[in-house]
Amino acid sequence: MTLDARPEPDTSEQPDTPDQPDQTKQSARQSTWAALRPLLLRLHFYAGVLIAPFLFIAATTGLLYALSFQAEKAVYRYELSAPVGDTTLPLSEQVAAARETQPDDATVTAVWPSSEDGATTRVLFDSPKVADDASLAVFVDPYTAEVRGELASYGSSGALPLRAWLSQLHADLHLGELGRNYSELAASWLWVVALGGVALWFGRRRARRRDLVIPTTGQRKGRTKTLSWHGTVGLWAALGLVLLSATGLTWSRYAGESIGALRSQLGGQTPSVDATLAGGAAPASGGGHEGHGGDHGATGHQGPDIGLDRVLEIARAEGIDGQLTISLPSEDSGYVVRQTDKQVPLHLDSVAIDPADGTVVDTLRFADYPMLAQLTSIGIAAHMGVLFGLANQLALAALMVGTLLLIVWGYRMWWLRRPTRDRALSVGRPMPRGAWRKVPLPGLLPLAAVAALVGWFVPMLGISLLAFLVIDAAAGLVTRARAGA
């Protein structure tokens, strides 16, 4: 993400007596790169100057989110943990204890059984106490059925208020739909800036390739040393930044729609287990809560119910174990038990069970997901910091710190290239205009077509790129007018 755009001399070592065909190929490659490099430099310059502030905000909020997992465990330690006992109580008793803390008309929507020693069971309610996009989580000691507290729980990941607030800050700065534009703009340009920086760094054709991957030492302070650190760290961070950009765009407003449509056409949509009951569940006469066994209270389902404990036994017999979410039945659908462990290897199997007799209605294995859906799940898990647990979160934090440094170094190089003969406030200048005219027509037309296609598929990228062109053209007109005057 360099903001410096001064042409660099070619310092590559040339063979003493190259073969003529090799020399011709090398000359052709150098000629192509010589034509493309000024255009790439100018694009990289404008992206660095105008998009880097958005990337800086995204990296800062992303760093806070990466650290939020461990912060959540510390802040909500009392609710999330309990003293380890000898045996756990039946799940139905734990849910009943949670229900006693809520109004009679409270609806249990899901249960997260304790998945490890010392972890509490989480019972989720549809409650007016929390926002519409959240559930009320009641935390129960699985050994004593003591209720240890209640908190708002957000999304399928069960983010608690601290992590949910930081996640929303990263997504839209708590500005709603308007704020989502900032994160989509940052994600749209991140891969362009990262790959462009890699191309420019390799295009320097250094005599020692070691200097591409290790910062040059022994240099005086200044632009050269800053550029060495900027290029080296950018090279190491590039793959991670591209992956973050790709997965981040799946959540975006505009590009996300295009990605979703493309995945659908390619058959890569994430499947879901079918919990629909045959003929729908007939409501029981007399109403009330008959058939619930007293374990989950009011839901959309009114009829015979085998209960949560039996459902859990059946699911485990089907190989659905570990971290689980049990979604309670509704009028026409059964229980759904899902694995939620997104660490490698991912455990995301699910099973649907008829509440009346325990019949397995449907089973879905992660191994049966389409390949594209599997890759999407893995990528999103890595983006969220849960694929490798703590190691994933530390890697994300390091990547965000690296991104912040890259932006600071880029602006520093831009500042160091400013004219210093007068005392007027000034900054470094970009590559001279007209770089696109140097690109041969056979190369320029495909390049323009690819840019148009990508701009249509990723609208925030296309719109901002068009804005760059307009700004550049306007600046050129002003410059010519001043020169004429």
If asked whether residues 58 and 187 sit together in one domain, one would say yes
Sheet containing strand 360-364, strands side by side: 147-154, 134-140, 121-126, 107-112, 324-327, 335-339, 350-353, 360-364
Residue for token digits 């058959």? 267
Token pair for residue 191? 């891969």
If asked whether residues 63 and 139 sit together in one domain, one would say no
CATH of the domain at 148: 3.10.450
If asked whether residues 251 and 104 sit together in one domain, one would say no
Q: Flag whether 131 is in a domain.
A: yes
According to the model, what pLDDT value does residue 289 have?
Answer: 33
Q: Flag whether 202 is in a domain.
A: yes
Q: Flag whether 475 is in a domain.
A: no
Q: 174: Cβ–Cβ under 8 A, 6 or more apart, which residues?
A: 168
Q: Give the C-alpha separation, 177 to 171, whole Å.
A: 10
Q: Give the C-alpha separation, 171 to 150, whole Å.
A: 25
If asked whether residues 62 and 130 sit together in one domain, one would say no
Q: Flag whether 277 is in a domain.
A: no
Domain end: 126, 159, 192, which one? 159
If asked whether residues 61 and 179 sit together in one domain, one would say yes
Sign of the alpha-carbon torsion through 43, 46, 49, 51: negative
According to the model, what pLDDT value does residue 278 have?
Answer: 80
The whole domain housing 104 covers 77-159
Q: Say how many C-beta atoms besides its own lie within 10 A of residue 227's C-beta.
A: 24
The full DSSP string for 324-381 is EEEEPP-SSB-EEEEE-B-SSSPB--EEEE-TTT--EEEEE-GGGS-HHHHHHHHHHH
Grouped pLDDT means (10 residues each) for the chain, 485 residues: 49 46 58 77 83 96 97 97 95 97 92 96 95 95 97 95 97 94 96 93 70 75 86 94 96 93 90 86 36 43 86 96 95 95 94 96 96 94 95 97 96 80 57 67 83 94 89 80 78
If asked whether residues 249 and 101 sit together in one domain, one would say no
If asked whether residues 50 and 199 sit together in one domain, one would say yes
If asked whether residues 115 and 148 sit together in one domain, one would say yes
If asked whether residues 61 and 87 sit together in one domain, one would say no
Residue type at 174?
Answer: H
Token pair for residue 210? 């070691």
If asked whether residues 119 and 259 sit together in one domain, one would say no
Phi-psi region at 350: left, alpha or beta (left = phi > 0; alpha = psi -120 to 50): beta
If asked whether residues 113 and 146 sit together in one domain, one would say yes
Structural domains in the chain (count)? 2
Q: Flag whether 461 is in a domain.
A: no
What is the DSSP code (8-state) at residue 174?
T
If asked whether residues 243 and 129 sit together in one domain, one would say no
Q: Flag whether 306 is in a domain.
A: no
Q: What SS3 class is residue 329?
A: coil
Chain center to CA of 471: 31
Q: Flag whether 447 is in a domain.
A: no
Q: Flag whether 184 is in a domain.
A: yes
